[in-house]
């Protein structure tokens, strides 16, 4: 979340910045609540001062000749009245702060000044391209048609679980596993990330920390076991678990940066995506992803962002898959991100580039929600860290890209060189 004090003191400035994200901040409500809070706080302070003065009256009354018991009784009656009013004003101030906090929890991160204007993904700005889409001497098929005879079974997925699920068999299942292992090895052995295995079920507090709750609860799956004191949620991404490893912590400065990665399934209800990408594996309720997370010093987060984009690009380059890098415009920028780069891989079956990785800098937005801090060695005081996350990569979409880019006229799939060691030397899926 944003710094509540800054928002309360500068609502117009915040509103102007958030307009790039197409978010409308209710400035009048913030001003009204803040004005009421200040008024209640001033009255409470006056009452505390009055209580302090009243407490001193016991000695003054005794000095004027009143008995100790009578002096205490007279002041006690006055203190009781003050305490009743003070309790009322403190409760009111707490209620107002609760209303302000509820607003703060729903306010997105401010976009960085370099984020381009735009309403949707159609206005994202292309930065660069790598590789040239292959010219086939035949009509390229999409992964659904290619996979029908190779072990990609959407009918079985629908029978077991409904729409947006798939069953993978035989060599296609091995290709999926090989991609994940290849990505993990690349991120750990070449890029220096620490591999982590984390839970797939988390408490709501973890999702609040990374910004999925309370705003995006409809996109989450949660358990309803009666014996639980609170529900567990299936993670939509291991960004949640990896980032929350530093929640409620004070790290030493020399522990930074932390570079974490992990392969997990991701579970998303895809609320709001009705009718979009209903064919194939592009938008599933359950999919695998290798995630990259960095916890860094505030001075280095934009350098880390560029490095993480490069880490994701290396995966596609080693697989020899054409892609492009785009900067997300304000209208397409995520809730917790100040700046995001998307990697979009070329899919011959669709004749277009499709997102395969998003890499975002969240500054201290998540850290403030999680209370993730480091101790500044110069001041000795705790300060908020910066957090970043990105896909390194989405495994299912990477498999789609391999299937479509490495197809031949007979409907066979040739294995990229980088994956052959992970496929036991297999060169063709047929």
What is the Cα–Cα distance from 318 to 321, expressed in whole angstroms? 8
CB 227 within 8 A of CB 356: no
Task: Give the pair of three-digit tokens for residue 154.
Answer: 């959407």
Residue numbering of the annotated binding site: 237-239, 268-270, 291, 355-358, 391
Selection from 290, 303, 350, 358 nearest residue 326 by Cα: 358
Q: 63-93 b/e with 16+ CB inside 10 Å = b? A: eeeeeeeebeeebeeebeebeeebeebeebb
Give counts: helices (H), strands (E), the chain.
12, 17
CB 323 within 8 A of CB 130: yes
Residue numbering of the annotated binding site for ATP: 268-270, 355-358
Task: Give the pair of three-digit tokens for residue 178.
Answer: 């090989």
CB 403 within 8 A of CB 415: no
What is the Cα–Cα distance from 291 to 191, expressed in whole angstroms? 13
What is the Cα–Cα distance from 218 to 394, expressed in whole angstroms? 22
Task: Give the pair of three-digit tokens for residue 78.
Answer: 């006055």
What is the Cα–Cα distance from 82 to 92, expressed in whole angstroms? 15
DSSP secondary structure letters along 74-142: HHHHHHHHHHHHHHHHHHHHHHHHHHHHHHHHTPPPPPPTTSPP-SSGGG-EEEEEES-----SS-PPP
DSSP secondary structure letters along 210-256: HT-TTTTGGG--B---TT-SS-EEE-S-THHHHHGGGTTEEEEGGGP
| Residues facing 428 on adjacent strands | 414
Task: Give the pair of three-digit tokens for residue 334.
Answer: 């995520």
Task: Give the pair of three-digit tokens for residue 343.
Answer: 């990697």
For 225, other C-beta atoms within 10 Å of its C-beta total 7
| Residues facing 388 on adjacent strands | 294, 361
Residue numbering of the annotated binding site for L-serine: 237-239, 291, 391
């Amino acid at each position: 979340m944003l710094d509540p004090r800054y928002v309360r003191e500068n609502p117009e400035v915040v509103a102007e910045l958030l307009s790039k994200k197409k978010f409308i901040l209710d400035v009048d409500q913030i001003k009204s609540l803040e004005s009421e809070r200040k008024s209640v706080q001033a009255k409470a302070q006056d009452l505390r001062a009055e209580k302090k003065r009243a407490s001193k009256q016991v000695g003054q009354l005794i000095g004027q000749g009143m008995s100790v018991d009578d002096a205490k009784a007279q002041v006690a009656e006055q203190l009781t009245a003050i305490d009743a009013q003070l309790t009322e004003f403190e409760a009111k101030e707490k209620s107002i702060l609760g209303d302000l906090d509820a607003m703060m929890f729903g306010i997105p991160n401010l976009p960085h000044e370099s984020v381009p204007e735009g309403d949707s993904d159609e206005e994202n700005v292309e930065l660069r391209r790598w590789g040239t889409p292959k010219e086939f001497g035949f009509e390229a098929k999409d992964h659904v048609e290619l996979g029908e005879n190779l072990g990609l079974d959407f009918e079985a997925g629908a029978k077991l679980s409904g729409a947006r699920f798939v069953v993978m068999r035989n060599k296609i299942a091995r290709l999926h596993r090989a991609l994940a292992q290849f990505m993990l090895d690349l991120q750990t052995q070449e890029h220096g990330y620490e591999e982590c295995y984390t839970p797939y079920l988390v408490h709501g507090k973890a999702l609040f920390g990374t910004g999925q709750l309370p705003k995006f609860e409809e996109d989450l799956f949660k358990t309803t076991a009666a014996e639980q004191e609170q529900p567990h949620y299936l993670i939509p991404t291991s960004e949640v678990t990896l980032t929350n490893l530093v929640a409620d912590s004070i790290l030493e400065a020399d522990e930074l940066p932390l570079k974490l990665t992990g392969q997990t399934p991701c579970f998303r209800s895809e609320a709001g995506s009705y009718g979009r990408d209903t064919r194939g594996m592009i938008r599933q309720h359950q999919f695998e992803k290798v995630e990259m997370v960095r916890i860094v010093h505030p001075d280095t987060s934009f350098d880390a962002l560029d490095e993480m984009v490069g880490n994701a690009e290396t995966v596609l380059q080693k697989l020899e898959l054409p892609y492009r890098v785009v900067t997300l415009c304000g209208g397409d920028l995520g809730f917790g991100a100040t700046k995001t780069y998307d990697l979009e891989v070329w899919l011959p079956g669709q004749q277009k580039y499709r997102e395969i990785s998003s890499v975002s800098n969240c500054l201290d937005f998540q850290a403030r929600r999680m209370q993730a801090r480091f101790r500044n060695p110069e001041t000795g005081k705790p300060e908020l860290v910066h957090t970043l996350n990105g896909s390194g990569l989405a495994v299912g979409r990477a498999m789609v890209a391999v299937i479509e880019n490495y197809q031949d006229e007979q409907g066979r799939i040739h294995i990229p060189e980088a994956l052959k060691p992970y496929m036991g030397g297999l060169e063709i899926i047929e």
